[in-house]
Amino acid sequence: MKPLIHLQDVKKDYPMGHTTVHALCGVELAMEGGRYYSIVGPSGSGKTTLMHMIGCMDTPTSGEVWLDGQPVHHLDEQGRTAMRARYIGFIFQAFHLNPILTVRENVSIALQFLGAGRREAEVRAEVWLDRVGLSHRLAHYPAELSGGERQRVAIARALVKDPCLVLADEPTGNLDSQTGGEIVALLREVNRRTGATILQVTHDPEIAAISDEIITFKDGRVTGQQASSGRLQR
Ligand code: ADP
Ligand code: MG
């Protein structure tokens, strides 16, 4: 079977004044569709940069990135935008909800951007907000929600367009440990229910244990990839 995500010798340099930061130094990685992966590694090791390459938010300095059998490393801004819209849902540490939109609007607007009509987008948004346990918060604003509730809205927003890949960069980083555990348990359930591949970055080995496989990352390189328990370790 072809991997859903395939990286070959991916390097990313950032020019910084007179020097160059080598953020990725030859990443080799293959990930299959339908699984839940965690990337763990020290701060500054290049995890977010790697997510940007896989998420078509930026292009590598050299090397190849393949998504669902398509090369994405040469795409221009327009091509990357189209790939993101079609394939990928994003979840961030700081939630990134729109503060002037309601919970329902934050989720439905993601579909309206893709061309869905307003009523259809609202109906599908409500289905996903129900799945993440927020049916009673549809008309609320992000500022009126707890951190865990905000991340649930972000999960609904990422999943409402049926992406085959969900990228979550430190999704529990702004949450207390119990709420963080609830959020990854929800992601685990979403993966099993929809078959969407999940790739999360985390510092926390207990959080990483919920995934099917753990990829260890250091100094801009993959240093290991092994099976995990698929259960939260606390
Ligand atoms: P991590 O997510 O593992 O903490 P990052 O991918 O954010 O690591 O960063 C890897 C390295 O690249 C760090 O040294 C960081 O300072 C540098 N870096 C990241 N983004 C940029 C950028 N836009 N410009 C310059 N340097 C960057
Ligand atoms: Mg990071």
Domains, the chain, ranges and CATH? 5-227 (3.40.50.300)
| Strands of the chain, DSSP E | 5-16, 19-31, 36-40, 62-67, 70-71, 88-92, 165-169, 197-201, 213-218, 221-227
**10-residue mean pLDDT series, the chain (234 residues):** 92 95 97 97 96 97 96 96 93 96 97 94 97 97 97 97 96 95 96 97 94 97 94 85
Q: Distance from the CA of 197 to the center of ligand 2, in angstroms?
A: 20
Q: Is the CB of 14 under 6 A from ligand 1?
A: yes
User: Residue whose CA is closest, atom 10 of ligand 1?
Assistant: 46
The predicted structure's pLDDT at residue 2: 81
Best substitution site from 19, 43, 49 to test ligand 1's pocket, by max atoms within 8 Å of Cβ?
49
Which listed ligand is nearest to 16 at the C-alpha?
1
Q: Distance from the CA of 42 to the center of ligand 2, in angstroms?
A: 9
Best substitution site from 11, 12, 14, 201 to test ligand 1's pocket, by max atoms within 8 Å of Cβ?
14
Ligand 1: which atom is nearest the Cα of residue 51? 6
Distances in Å between the alpha carbon of 26 and those of 1, 5, 52, 155, 226? 24, 15, 15, 31, 19
Q: Is the CB of 227 under 6 A from ligand 1?
A: no
Q: Is the CB of 49 under 6 A from ligand 1?
A: yes
**How many residues does the structure list for the chain?**
234
The predicted structure's pLDDT at residue 86: 85
Q: Is the CB of 142 under 6 A from ligand 1?
A: no
Q: Tokens 């050299």 — which residue?
A: 62
Distance CA 26, CA 63 (A): 8
Q: Distance from the CA of 99 to the center of ligand 2, in angstroms?
A: 24
The predicted structure's pLDDT at residue 83: 94
This prediction has a pTM of: 0.96
Interacting residues of 3 by C-beta distance below 8 A, sequence separation 6+ = 30, 31, 32, 33, 66
Q: Is the CB of 48 under 6 A from ligand 1?
A: yes
| Nearest-5° Cα angle at 11, 7 to 16 | 150
